[in-house]
Structure 1
C-alpha cells in the first residue's frame, strides 16, 4: 500500500514537471507562431496581400506551421499531465479537464491542417497572384482561425474545470485557482462572442485586449507553479 502510494505520488510529481515544461514551451511557440508570424503575414480582408506576404516568406510560414505542430504535441502532454496531477484531488473534474483539453487539441489539429493546405496552395501558385489562388489561400487561413477560435471556447471550459479542482484542495494556492478560472471564463466568453455575435467585433476586440493579461497570466502562472511547487506536492 505504501509502495503504491509512493509510486502514485512520484507519477503525480513527474506529471507536474512535464505539464509545466510543456506549458512554457507552448507559450513560447504560440508567441512566435501566432503573435509574430501569423499576425505579420496575414492581412485581414486582403487575400492578395496575404498571398504575396506568404510567397515572399515561405520559410517563415512553414516555421509557423511547425510552431503549431509543437503546440499540438505539448497540448497532448498537458492533457495527460493535468489528469495525472489533478486526479488525486478530484478524479471527476480531473477527467473532465483532461478530456476537454484533448478535445480542444483535436480541434486545433484540424485547424492547423488548413494551414498545411495554405502552404500547398502557395507552393503551387508559382509566385502568381491571381484572385482565385489568393482567395483559396485566404479561405484556408480563415478556416484555421475559425476552427481554432471555436476550439478556444472548449479550452476555456477546460481551464474552468482545472480551477474547480484547484479550489477544492489546499495544496494549490487560491490565487492560482482564481487566475485560472478568470482565464477560463475569458477564453470561453470572448470566443463565444467571436463565433456567435461577430457583428460586435470591435467590442469583442477591446474586451479581448482588456482580458489578455489574465488570460496569459492564468495559464503561465499555473505552469510556473507546477514547475516550482507542484513537483514537490505530497498527498500527506
Structure 2
C-alpha cells in the first residue's frame, strides 16, 4: 500500500510539473510573443510609445502574466531538483539553480524595464523636465533594455536546458528523445543570446531558431509530463 501511495504521489507530482510548465509557456508566450512583439517597434520610439499608451491595459497585463510565469518557474525549478536528484544530486542542483537565476531572478527583475517603459510616458514630473520626443526615446530605451535583459536570462536558461536534457537522457526513467530535444532547446537559447550580442542584425533568424528548438524541446517535455505522468517509473517526488 505504501509503495502504491508513493507511485500515485509521484505521478501526481510529475503531472503537476507538466501542468505548471504548460502554464508558463502560455503566460510567457503571451507576454513576449503577443504583447511586447505587437507593441514594440524596433527603431521607432514614436510608434512604440503610441502603441503602449493605446494598449495600456494590455501592456500592464503582459507584465502580470510574465510575473506569474516566473513565479511558477521557481516552483518548477524546485520540483525538477526533487525529481532528478536521485540520478545525480550535484547536476540536478546546478541545473535547477540556473533555472532559478534565469527567470525567477533575472527575468523578474528585468520586468522593471517593461514597467518603466510605460511609467515614463505617464510621469508628470518627467513631462515638466523633458519634451515629448525625449520621453518617448526613454520609453523605447527601457523596452530595448528589457529585450537585452531577456537575452541575458536566456543564457542561464540555455545551460539549464542542456543540463536538464543530459539528466533526462541519462536517468533511464524517461525517453531519451526528451533529453535530446531539451538539449537542442538549450542550444537554441544560447545561439540566440550570444548571436544577438556578437552578431547584431540577425535577430529575426535567431528568434526563429530559438522558437523552433524551444517548441520541440519544452513543449514536448511539458505535455509528455502532463499526459504520461502516471506511466513514468519514478518515486522521487
TM class by smaller structure: 0.7 to 0.9
1:25-104 equivalences under 5 Å are 25-104=23-102
Work out the number of aligned pairs and report it. Answer: 230
Q: Confirm or deny that 1:182 pairs with 2:181.
A: no
Q: Which residue of 1 aligns with 2:213?
A: 214
The offset of 1:119, in angstroms, is: 2.5
Conserved in 2, the CA contact under 8 Å of 1:79 and 1:99? yes
Unaligned 5+ segments in structure 2 are: none
Length-normalised TM-score, structure 1: 0.88
Length-normalised TM-score, structure 2: 0.88
* Secondary structure of the corresponding residue to residue 88 of structure 1: helix
Q: Which residue of 2 aligns with 1:133?
A: 135
The offset of 1:193, in angstroms, is: 1.4
The offset of 1:190, in angstroms, is: 1.7
Q: Which residue of 2 aligns with 1:17?
A: 15
Query: What is the CA–CA distance in structure 1 between the aligned matches of 2:9 and 2:86, rounded to whole Å?
Result: 11
* Secondary structure of the corresponding residue to residue 81 of structure 1: helix
Query: What is the CA–CA distance in structure 1 between the aligned matches of 2:95 and 2:227, rounded to whole Å?
Result: 22
Report 1 or 2 for greater relative contact order, CA contacts < 8 Å, sequence distance ≥ 6: 2
Q: Which residue of 2 aligns with 1:159?
A: 161
Conserved in 2, the CA contact under 8 Å of 1:18 and 1:81? no
Conserved in 2, the CA contact under 8 Å of 1:15 and 1:84? no
Post-superposition Cα deviations, 1:3-45, rounded to whole Å, max 9, x if no partner, equal 6x77876664443222211111111112221111111111001
Query: What is the CA–CA distance in structure 2 between the aligned matches of 1:230 and 1:166, rounded to whole Å?
Result: 14
Q: Which residue of 2 aligns with 1:205?
A: 204
Post-superposition Cα deviations, 1:197-226, rounded to whole Å, max 9, x if no partner, equal 133x22x53244245322212001111111
Runs of 4+ deviating beyond 3 Å: 5-15
